[in-house]
Amino acid sequence: MDLPHRALLQLPHLRAGLYLHVAENKSLPGREERPADEAVGRPLAAAWFEEVLGNAASPLLRRADRTSTSLATQLQTVAEVLLAAGAELPALGADASSKEKELALEELYATEPRFEWQSEQVWEEADPWTFTLSNPQPAEESLWKRRSFYSHTEMALTRLLELGTGADRRRSSKAKKEVLRMWLQEQ
């Protein structure tokens, strides 16, 4: 029933009092071919939490779906997460494909600040999935600090390269080598 040490994300510019727990990243090898204009985002197993008591320094959260005693997760892409959190679809033409809409939302996600909170379980008989939060940190910065360079995926390293140099993560190749070069130059 425990959530990892830093497991709840906040997207502060979107719906106030809503937090996200990514229970698992889903990778779907061998997925069937899709048309070129169809959305293909990788789904996340997401659980939503809502603020019960509004204390900016240490909010109290409960899971949004309390229909059972288990933690309900939903498979959602980054685009679906943003829409669920109240993001508005960027202005696109009326004939925009689902893939174009998804890519526009992913770009919004890349610029949206995300904060990761430390969580501590508060045992309540009525809802064991109740937590107090503390010590918000920028999510990506926190991830880089607590994991070794070599444990990051190529996708994560490409994002670090984008943040550090402005390189386009969709066009960057050999990110590990480039990020390592950038990191060594800073040392």
Q: Which of 5, 14, 127, 131 is nearest to 78 (CA)?
A: 14
* Domain range list for the chain: 6-140, 147-187
Query: What per-residue confidence (pLDDT) applies to 141?
Result: 77
Residue (of 95, 107, 110) closest to 37 by Cα position:
95
Mean pLDDT of all residues in 124-150: 80
pLDDT in the model for residue 124: 75
Residue 100: per-residue pLDDT: 85
